[in-house]
Amino acid sequence: MSLEYAVLGFLNYQPFSGYDLKKMFDSSVQHFWVADLSQIYRTLGKLSEKGWASVEVVEQSERPDRKLYRITPQGQAALREWLAGPFPTAAPHSGPLVQVFFSGQMPDAVVQAKFAAAADLFRGMLERYQQVPQQVQPYVHQVDSPRETYFWMKTLELGMLTMQAQLLWAEQVLRDLEQGAVPPLDPPQEGEA
């Protein structure tokens, strides 16, 4: 559901094609919302059906015609109502944390490899997040709103703080494993493999 409002939020700046919206997502909100092109096109279709977006076909001579989507007054009203409402909440789900929760069943070497890979992933994500300010610059100039830019950067700040915390956490587990602070694996019970 939030994807609809993210698309509306971008369309509220200016009309976009689905492809342009995908580029916008990848260069501005990737640290908290990933959407593939098919999801964006499905969402644009839903927004059009609801009357929250309209579509204009722009003929192009050397390429296929381009569909340009623009927010309607009904879409702006829906976006504003959603923005003024409470923070959307969802029950947390985390596949990685389910693995961590049951990692006591695995030997240290397996757990250590998993946390080393996780730490590398977190470092890589932090590096990508550090590129966001440069990637978003063309859109900052298009929107030309210091207030909008402020809130964009606050989402990035939270993403970076969260990723730094996850990295520190993974590195602490690795240190605990290296220093023998993790209790040993229970021996298999009779009849277990």
Domain boundaries, the chain: 2-84, 95-178
Cβ pair 79, 12 in contact under 8 A: yes
The pTM score is: 0.78
CB 100 within 8 A of CB 117: no
Other CB atoms within 10 A of residue 174 CB: 16
94/4: higher pLDDT: 4
69 and 18 Cβ atoms separated by less than 8 Å? yes
Could you tell me the pLDDT band of residue 27, with boundaries at 50, 70 and 90?
A: confident
Say what the pLDDT of residue 59 is.
86
pLDDT(192) > 70: no
Q: What is the CATH number of domain 2-84?
A: 1.10.10.10
pLDDT at residue 175, rounded to an integer: 97
- The single residue listed with the structure tokens 């757990």 is 111
Query: What SS3 state is found at 57?
Result: strand
> Is the pLDDT score of 79 beyond 90?
yes
Neighbours of 71 (CB within 10 A): 24
For residue range 119-159, what is the model confidence (pLDDT) as tens digits?
Answer: 999 999 999 999 988 888 888 888 889 999 999 899 999 99
Cα–Cα distances in Å, from 64 out to 60, 67, 167? 6, 10, 45
pLDDT at residue 163 above 80? yes
Average pLDDT over residues 83-89: 90
Neighbouring residues of 166: CB distance < 8 A, sequence distance ≥ 6: 118, 122
Rg (alpha carbons) of the chain, rounded to whole number: 22
Contact 52, 3 (CB under 8 A): no
